[in-house]
Chains A and B, each alone.
Chain A
């Protein structure tokens, strides 16, 4: 225990030194010692840190309107509010208005607000919002405002467009992985052959070997990566959906449903989720946001592993993204300073550690990756292991066209109303039409 405290203190000091050196702060005055308790499953780790309190150049009252996509279901909103409250406690002149909007609503409302000229002051959102927001020129590039070398590369890559970075990463991940019920599965399969064999053994009566959300293409893209395909060509905006790799992927999904019958006949997100929670599914492919709920439902029986490798192909590459701070255009003066200060605070090592513990998410700060919390928690370790083979989710606005093109075709193949070849061709035409319409 002593060792971990020392590591953390050392890290923090290092970070603050680096921060102080690289970024010219307006005024750095007092130093405070803040004691925080980070509670994990296994042990209570008391973290004592030295935090440099940055006092903004002006002491004027600033209210920051923060729109966040975090909801209450997984504790995200509470976490954001806690961060805001903690920051206000240290900087009483800066108050926050935290507004929660779900992902789609946030995008629509931000664009609408852009039209009306009444944007919020800070966004906490997902990476693919950067596409439409940069098209409309409503957010600012963050390369010059923050030290981005502190953050994990894959997290930064997912927010990069046109050579600039448009968001400061908060958490990394949002990726799919293989979750399994240890009561039914002793060792998870490592490749698709094993997956199918195990799945067949486990599919009996009303129990299924594998479940996943069969309606969203988000669950298709890992397999596409496993077969060596990608949705965009190298230029990042031309769709490549009518490829042998896509056909192979669709065929694979068709097979596990109709030929090998290890998945249910019709299953959306809630269906898969319910089956797994009720113990009627041995394995599920789901994302890091669901970890909390499954931990509650299955406790120690929850296991995490990589999505099995495609025989003759690669490890599947689920899309990784995460959550990001985005700064609306037009921020200036005291407000901009306040926002910058908060962003740095929210992504410092202390708060990243808190986030790991409370939200089961992987951090975006490089320094926090070594946190023993991750190494000691098999769930988080598995999650990190999967993320290593993930690929950053494209954030261009054309990506939406891809999603919308893939969705009905994928469903048609899984409903046995279209052949994989026809589906892939249809996907390509739909995506091309859609992208043409974006102009």
Chain B
């Protein structure tokens, strides 16, 4: 595994301004850890946009489909009930009364499916040990993780990072 070093910044604007020139100079930025979401960071790092809202839509459609099947089976197929002489043999004639249940099931599946996907994809789960290069990164520091192609370039890259606003450059656990 190649070696990684961590550059600490204390201003998100300084960090953002320097991502582009650093990348242009061939510095391989693996990730940036920040105490809060910094707008435009994903684009600056060249991350693909998240597809999680598409997942939410698909989960929502699944929830709606399941609710349609459930109301159809329980109220029409299995045990049609005569309630005030209203039609009970066709789903589509009953559907106005089922709208609340269809809606709630859609939201239920979309919300929980999306959040579970987020937790699993981002590996945030109970019992996971956090990867914390610097303890201040959840407080007020911004940490840039840089991969070194060659260990011999470490001093060179460190100097470059410091020239581009990094306050310290360190290794993991040190």
A and B from one assembly? no
